[in-house]
């Protein structure tokens, strides 16, 4: 890896770990849903601003809005709420480590199983 790539990795780890650190601080003063709403809302505003700066438009109709709300609930609101709620009971560092472990890992087949080998072959067939 180049020096620039290492710098990007360090920056990513600071940003990623910083969110858990600041969640821990914010939990001392604010309830869970307030923190999550502020975090998701600020991110949405930042993305809308970035889209505006890049000249990208967004078409909003009923079907797209339903998809956005469904994805935002499952991928952001629910998951961030559970993470921040959990940080009331465990340390921020433990929460960040647990967040990095996929919950689907116990459901996946063992690496040596024929099913996993077939999945790996099919995933790598385009390489």
Residue pLDDT, tens place only, 76-105 = 888 888 889 989 998 888 888 777 776 656
| Strand, helix or coil for residue 54 | coil
Tens digit of each residue's pLDDT (9 = 90 or more) over 34-64: 999 998 899 889 988 998 899 887 778 899 8
Task: Please report how the helices 79-86 and 32-53 are oriented relative to each other, as an axis angle in degrees rounded to 10.
Answer: 140
């Amino acid at each position: 890896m180049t020096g620039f790539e290492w710098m990007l990795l360090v920056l990513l780890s600071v940003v990623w770990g910083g969110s858990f650190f600041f969640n821990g601080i914010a939990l001392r003063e604010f309830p869970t849903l307030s923190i999550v709403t502020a975090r998701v809302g600020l991110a949405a505003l930042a993305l809308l601003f970035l889209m505006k700066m890049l000249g990208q438009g967004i078409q909003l109709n009923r079907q797209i809005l339903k998809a956005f709300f469904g994805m935002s609930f499952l991928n952001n609101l629910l998951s961030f709420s559970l993470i921040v709620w959990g940080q009331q009971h465990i340390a921020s560092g433990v929460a960040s480590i647990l967040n990095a472990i996929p919950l689907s890992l116990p459901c996946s087949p063992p690496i040596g199983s024929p099913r996993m080998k077939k999945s790996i072959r099919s995933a790598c067939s385009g390489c």
